[in-house]
Chain A
Amino acid sequence: MGMTITQKILADHAGVPEVKAGDLIEAKLDYVLGNDVTTPPAIKIFKEMGFDKVFDKERVCLIQDHFTPNKDIKSAELCKTMRCFAREQEVRHFYELGRHEMGIEHVILPDNGIVLPGDMVIGADSHTCTYGALGAFSTGVGSTDLACAMARGVTWFRVPEAIKVVLKGTFNKFVTGKDLILHIIGMIGVDGALYKSLEFEGEGLKSISMAGRLTICNMAIECGAKNAIFPFDEYTLRYIAKTNPARFSKSQYKIYTADEDAEYAQTIEIDLSDVPLTVALPSIPSNTCRAEDCKDLKIDQVVIGSCTNGRLEDIGAAAEILKGLKVHENVRCIIIPGSQKIYRYALEAGWLRIFDDAGCVISTPTCGPCLGGHMGVLAKGERCVSTTNRNFVGRMGDTGSEVILSGVPVAVASAVLGRVGTPDEL
């Protein structure tokens, strides 16, 4: 019986010729990731278990991004714990705030050329599934698994079955990968892919940029998926040639393709031209709706950024749509480039001037408001259109506040209009 892309990566890293759905395997990890919320408990466990060295200091990534720059004394202690551990262990992928390599974990691991196709990655962050866009296997775990993986460089998995998502057609104007993934979550529900892989294929892939693919894989967890994965194509090739020319030129990556007779639990076909500009209304990501049907919803805040939509293409799209316009008088619009490199590019391309002219807040890279940490916490009764990934009760602040998820074009239009809106209204 054939294998899916995910199953092939798992088999290879487990050192076996074949796996099938339901098998329990122990697999070698190429990268292990933690952030400032999940790493400190993992460090405590690491020490309690009697470990003294990480398995490979080149392959552990400790990224401070959630409550940074630190929002309070307790979060400063978390980063201090992580920083001391990273120095003691000489962890290569630990960066100080403000440095050029720095940013939100799921933006910089792909953009800095750390993760490449065929890699196997776990991270103590649920959005670790992002790297499937590059044809890597990646999934989220908790702090105990992180601790053991940092020590041993292996972890156990149950081999998932897969849902095949076949894409055809092309996106309509302003529709992006974010709309597609919200559309899918709306179709199958927040547990529609529970314990499973989402594997994308079809001629529609040609109209989804790498940034769009990263956004799609990033939110696979919001329908319960273990991972999501795109096949390697010319987009992947161009991306990694740019992000890691050294490993690219030496072909230090691996391309996996699904067997023709691979088995899928389900197949979903989507014509991209049928995907509307989509929003997810409170308080669950599957509560999706056409943006144009929600125009009576007034808003107080817009957030553009995060591991979901803080990439170069996202910030560039925001600047292009916002050029010459003003943020509505009743709205705070917070723009958060996902990394220091993106911030710098935005500075040099004149995008920051466009945002400043429009009356936006421009933040240093941080997860901050996405999880109600800082840099845009909501008061009771306030409503935010956000390009982030979750709109659960209290996610961004008071339990009486609301988050509406959208892609960048809808978020920008909403910031200008003071209500949910679409870019063709501008």
Chain B
Amino acid sequence: MIVTGKAFKYGDNVDTDVIIPARYLNSSDPEHLRQHCMEDIDKEFAATVSEGDILVAGKNFGCGSSREHAPVAIKASGISLVIAESFARIFFRNCINVGLAILECPEAAASIQKDDVIKADFDTGIIENVTRNEKYQSRPFPDFINGIIKCGGLVEYTKDRTGI
């Protein structure tokens, strides 16, 4: 599976309180969450993000609360992939469960700048920076994890596998 999009770039320790502030957790509707995604660190995000765009950040992305609303909000914004130097543990697990693609790649996280055009192949783990003509190698997920992401999350994957 290959995705292409322009990059949004953030720093280290982006926490789930800024990804989706708790004041909006009175609903888990993806459309409601999308409208407020990232608003406490980037007021322009919701208005400027396009389908397929890629979010790039430093270390420990998604730290803090266990709210699954955070990856849901990012996914509902149209983000096709999050690249970070590292991910916080619960967020990492939640991303796979909701079918938000993520790749851990310190080199890509350091080199990619805002608005760079990025192309990534989930099967090989190769991330290509089209704007800067650079390539970075991340460790791809095994097939079953890519399968969950491709299906759109663990619920869809389970339904697909069990024929519900």
Using CB atoms and an 8 Å cutoff, list the residues of chain A in contact with chain B: 37-38, 40-41, 44-45, 48-50, 66-67, 71-72, 74-75, 78, 123-126, 128, 140-145, 148, 190-191, 194-195, 221, 224, 226, 284, 371-373, 377, 390, 392-395, 399
Task: Show 26 A/B contacts (Cβ-Cβ < 8 Å), sorted by A.
Answer: A37-B69, A38-B66, A48-B159, A50-B162, A67-B25, A71-B26, A78-B26, A128-B66, A140-B66, A141-B94, A142-B71, A144-B97, A144-B153, A145-B97, A191-B63, A191-B86, A194-B60, A221-B64, A224-B89, A371-B25, A373-B22, A373-B23, A390-B17, A392-B15, A394-B21, A399-B40
Query: How far is B26's CA from A40's CA once the two chains are assembled, in angstroms?
Result: 10
- B158 proximity list for chain A (CB < 8 A): 49
Contact A194 B97 (CB under 8 A): no
Name the residue in B15, B66, B90, B159 with the highest tally of chain A Cβ atoms < 10 Å from its Cβ.
B66
Given contact pairs A190-B60, A195-B89, A37 touches B67 in the complex (Cβ within 8 A): yes
Tell me, yes or no, whether B1 is within 8 Å of chain A by CB. no
Cβ-neighbour of A49 out of B15, B59, B155 (below 8 A): B155
B13 & A142 in contact (Cβ 8 Å cutoff): no
Please report which residues of chain B, range 64-89, place their CB below 8 angstroms from some CB of chain A when the two chains form the complex: 64-69, 71, 86, 88-89
Residues of A within 8 A of B88 (CB): 191, 194, 224
Per-position binary interface string of chain B over residues 33-50, scored 1 when its CB falls under 8 Å from any chain A CB and 0 otherwise: 000000011000000000
Of the candidates B18, B25, B90, B159, the one whose C-beta lies within 8 Å of that of A142 is B90
Contact A194 B64, CB 8 Å, known A40-B28, A144-B153, A395-B17: no
B32 to chain A, nearest CB (A): 9
A224 touches B60 (CB 8 A): yes
B154:A144 contact, CB within 8 angstroms: yes
**Interface bits B1-36 vs A (CB < 8 Å: 1, else 0):** 000000000000101011001110111100000000
* B interface residues, how many (CB within 8 angstroms): 38
Cross-interface CB contact of A371 among B22, B69, B71, cutoff 8 Å: B22
* CA of A71 to CA of B27, assembled, Å: 13
Q: Which of B111-148 contact A (CB under 8 A)?
A: none
Tell which of A45, A128, A144, A190 touches B63, judged by Cβ atoms closer than 8 Å: A190
Q: Report yes or no: B27 in contact with A74, Cβ–Cβ below 8 A.
A: yes
Contact (Cβ within 8 A) B21 A142 = no
* Partner of A125 from B66, B155, B162 at Cβ < 8 Å: B66
A142-B94, A373-B22 are contacts. A191–B68 as well, Cβ < 8 Å? no
Residues of A within 8 A of B40 (CB): 393-394, 399
A194 contact from B22, B69, B86, Cβ within 8 A = B86
A377 and B164 alpha carbons, distance in the complex (Å): 44
Contacting pair A75 B86 (CB below 8 A)? no
Chain A residues with Cβ under 8 A from B69's Cβ?
A: 37, 41
| A144→B98 contact, CB < 8 A | yes
Contacts of A373 in B (CB 8 A): 22-23
Known: A45-B155, A74-B27. A393 touches B18 (CB 8 A): yes
- The chain A residue sitting closest to B156, CB to CB, is A48
- Nearest to B91 among chain A residues (CB) is A142
Known: A50-B164, A74-B26, A144-B153. A390 touches B89 (CB 8 A): no
| Residues of A with C-beta under 8 A to B18 | 392-394
CB of A157, distance to nearest CB on chain B (Å): 10
Tell whether A191 pairs with B60 under 8 Å between CB atoms, given A37-B25, A45-B155, A392-B15.
Answer: yes
Is there contact, CB below 8 Å, between A142 and B93?
Answer: yes
Chain A neighbourhood of B94, CB < 8 A = 141-142, 144-145
Contacting pair A393 B89 (CB below 8 A): no
Q: Are A226 and B89 in contact (CB under 8 A)?
A: yes
Q: How far is the CA of A196 from the CA of B141 in the complex (A)?
A: 21
Tell me which of A38, A45, A372, A390 contacts B23 (CB under 8 A). Answer: A372
Taking the nearest CB of chain B, how far is it from the CB of A420, in angstroms? 22
Contacts of B68 in A (CB 8 A): 38, 41, 124, 142-144
